[in-house]
Amino acid sequence: MITRIRDVRKAKGLTLEEVAARCVPPTTAQTIGRLETGTRTVSVKWLNRLAAALDVAAADLVDLPDSASVPVVALLTLDGAAAPTRPMTLVPPPVPAGALGIRVQATLGDYRAGDELWCEQVGPDRFARALNRDIVAPRPGGRFMFGRLIEQDGDTLRILPPGAGQRQVVITRAPWIAVPVRLIRGL
């Protein structure tokens, strides 16, 4: 198996020692180096440990066909733009299993035309976690409601549409809602 452990570690700007210390339980920099170079077999258990230490999904550590990375040419700080002191890359985010998408076609509230929202679909048992967040909820007849979830009372949701002067919408017995977890915006 070809891994991207080194690429992801470098993209995060971490040393072998820092990754080793972040592992649970901690390990040595030498072990991390061997896992990166393939001189030590990378088991699923190791992939999960390293993914947690690097704060990525385990799938991000496996080299898949057509996977891409973007070289970092500058770091923006309060003092302005500066060149990185060591090579770094941006690793594109993986598409989560079961993700749903929203494409914004007209500027609405905080969203601009052309924005894309990647959403996590959640069931009624997790609706409360979405309070005060934007959501999309299914409605009868193949329609949807988008707005801020402002209240949940049993199986009743109160949603405030974006934009000034809008009235809240009440939806009952929604089988699921989708909560945006990533905004993709072109400049």
Domains and CATH numbers, the chain: 1-65 (1.10.260.40), 100-184 (2.10.109.10)
Q: How far is CA 93 from CA 8, 71, 86, 118, 181, in A?
A: 12, 15, 22, 11, 11
Q: What is the pTM of this model?
A: 0.60
Residue-level pLDDT at 46: 92
User: What are the phi and psi torsion angles at 82 (to 5°)?
Assistant: -140, 150
Percent of the chain with pLDDT over 70: 96
Query: At 100, which helix (H) or strand (E)?
Result: strand 100-103
Residue-level pLDDT at 66: 61
- Name the least confident of 38-52, 58-72, 113-127, 148-162: 58-72
Distance separating alpha carbons of residues 91 and 152, to the nearest angstrom: 37
Burial class (CB in 10 A: 0-12, 13-18, 19+), 32: buried
Question: Residues 132-173: pLDDT tens digits?
Answer: 999 999 998 889 999 999 999 999 999 999 878 889 999 999
Question: Residues 164-179: pLDDT tens digits?
Answer: 888 999 999 999 999 9
